[in-house]
Amino acid sequence: MRIEKLKTYYGYDLLIDRVLYKRCLNCESWFPYEDEMGFCRSCIRKAHRHQK
């Protein structure tokens, strides 16, 4: 397992075995970065539930 710390404008991201992980802007947990969202899937689901 290879872990690299990548410095960004806002702090840092993690590169674990060639998968980029970012910190959720809401709960601050680490999640695999797949699209342009800055939130993990559980926080996105919670937000959708609260909208209804």
- Supply the pLDDT for residue 4: 96
- Supply the pLDDT for residue 2: 94
Nearest to 45 by CA among 27, 23, 33: 27
Please tell me the distance from the alpha carbon of residue 46 to that of residue 26, in angstroms, as a whole number: 11
Question: Would you list the domain boundaries of the chain?
Answer: 3-51
- Ordered mean pLDDT values, 10 residues apiece, the chain (52 residues): 92 94 94 88 92 76
Contact 41, 31 (CB under 8 A): yes
Please tell me the distance from the alpha carbon of residue 35 to that of residue 2, in angstroms, as a whole number: 22
- Supply the pLDDT for residue 37: 82
